[in-house]
Amino acid sequence: MRFSTRTRYGLRFLVRLAEQPKGVRLQLAQVAREENISPGYLEQIVRALKPLNILCAARGAGGGYTLAKSPEEINLEDIFLHLEGEIAPVSCLEKNKNCLRMGCCTTRTFWQKLDEHMRLFLHNITLQQFIDSEHHF
């Protein structure tokens, strides 16, 4: 399973925000330039994250983005779900999907367990833990 550039870039954006001193806003254009991300694509990522209420935006001079929640309150599962749309390892486990082989599939239990482990893993990692773990390498 591969996650899209949308999720990878979204994580990079959120890490940048989390690492800023309290009250310091980042402009999308600056992040886009420094992270080599298209400004338009970064705007799409911000729109996808908006329902999470983790971003605070200010317009005008000195405007930009900050985190609306502390990195300790943001889990990666929410980020992945909002940026990917779905994170199930196989399409038959996606919401609102009815698999014709559900009752007789010999591999369904495996895929369900993998899905559960992946979601639990992402749910139990906060943005702060992610940042801290990256600094140990």
Phi and psi dihedrals of 58, rounded to 5? -130, 135
How many whole angstroms separate alpha carbon 112 and alpha carbon 115? 5
Each residue's pLDDT tens digit, 2-31: 899 999 999 999 999 999 998 899 999 999
pLDDT of residue 23: 84
pLDDT of residue 72: 97
Residue 19: closest CA among 133, 131, 136, 135: 131
Residue 43: closest CA among 34, 31, 53: 31
Which CATH number is 15's domain given?
Answer: 1.10.10.10
Each residue's pLDDT tens digit, 67-96: 999 999 999 999 999 999 888 888 888 776
Over 80: is that where the pLDDT of 99 sits? no
Range of 83's domain?
A: 5-134
Residue 67 near residue 18 (C-beta atoms within 8 A):
yes
Query: Into how many domains does the chain fold?
Result: 1
Q: In 1-137, which ranges are continuous DSSP H helix?
A: 5-18, 28-35, 39-49, 76-84, 108-123, 127-134
| Mean pLDDT of all residues belonging to the chain | 90
pLDDT of residue 137: 42
DSSP state of 65: E
Residue 134: closest CA among 52, 4, 16, 5: 16
Task: State which amino acid sits at residue 34.
Answer: E
**What average pLDDT score do residues 119-132 get?**
96
